[in-house]
């Protein structure tokens, strides 16, 4: 029997009760040494947390780095865009955000980190080539137009076929 002190804090009582219920039995990693290989890195805990939870830390990047990462994904990230006008709008919006980022004041004594603007026509051309390589050419329809199997059910109903 565990000897209880006269007074225990609510936290200590909750831990003791959980131990008595067996809530801490069979936890993952029980009986194994701690993994301390990257504890010299000051951000080790957040890196482990992001890896464990499969988090994308791209949203935590500074503006210019996030823009550079976005530009590195072009034109592959545009493969699902179906119209050239939309591709142009996306790249023009990206260029506007790059120019807006350049207007922000520099922080610290280091020179500011800048992202490059993209050539809209060049990206559109790459997008066209990417789409051409992914989309198979349309199949040629060799069936005659009067084929009853190709008519809609509505036309077959009223045509007497």
Where do the domains of the chain lie?
62-105+113-134
The first and second tokens of residue 22, run together, are 């067996």
Mean pLDDT for all residues in the chain: 83
SS3 call for 144: coil
Neighbouring residues of 126: CB distance < 8 A, sequence distance ≥ 6: 74, 75
pLDDT of residue 100: 92
The first and second tokens of residue 142, run together, are 């060799």
User: What whole-number distance in Å separates Cα of residue 115 and Cα of residue 71?
Assistant: 9
Contact 123, 91 (CB under 8 A): yes
As a dihedral over the C-alpha atoms of residue 43, residue 46, residue 113, residue 106, rounded to 10 degrees, the angle is -80
User: What whole-number distance in Å separates Cα of residue 37 and Cα of residue 47?
Assistant: 13
Neighbouring residues of 95: CB distance < 8 A, sequence distance ≥ 6: 117, 118, 120
User: What whole-number distance in Å separates Cα of residue 126 and Cα of residue 79?
Assistant: 10
Angle at 77 between CA 76 and CA 82, to 5 degrees: 95
The reported pTM is 0.55
Contact 94, 71 (CB under 8 A): yes
As a dihedral over the C-alpha atoms of residue 97, residue 98, residue 102, residue 103, rounded to 10 degrees, the angle is -20
pLDDT tens digits, residue range 2-31?
A: 666 678 899 999 999 999 999 988 888 888
pLDDT tens digits, residue range 114-145?
A: 899 999 999 999 999 998 888 665 665 555 55
pLDDT of residue 60: 79
């Amino acid at each position: 029997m565990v000897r209880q002190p006269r007074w225990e804090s609510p936290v200590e009582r909750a831990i003791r009760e959980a131990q008595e219920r067996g809530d801490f039995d069979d936890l993952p990693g029980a009986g194994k040494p701690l993994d301390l290989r990257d504890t010299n890195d000051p951000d080790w805990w957040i890196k482990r947390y992001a890896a464990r939870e499969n988090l994308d830390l791209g949203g935590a990047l500074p503006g210019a780095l996030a823009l550079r990462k976005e530009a590195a994904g072009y034109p592959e990230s545009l493969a699902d865009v179906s119209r050239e006008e939309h591709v142009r709008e996306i790249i023009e919006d990206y260029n506007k955000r790059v120019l807006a980022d350049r207007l922000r004041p520099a922080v610290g004594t280091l020179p500011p980190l800048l992202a490059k603007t993209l050539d809209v026509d060049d990206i559109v051309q790459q997008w066209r080539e990417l789409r051409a390589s992914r989309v198979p050419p349309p199949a040629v329809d060799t069936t005659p137009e009067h084929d009853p199997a190709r008519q809609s059910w509505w036309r077959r109903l009223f045509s007497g076929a």
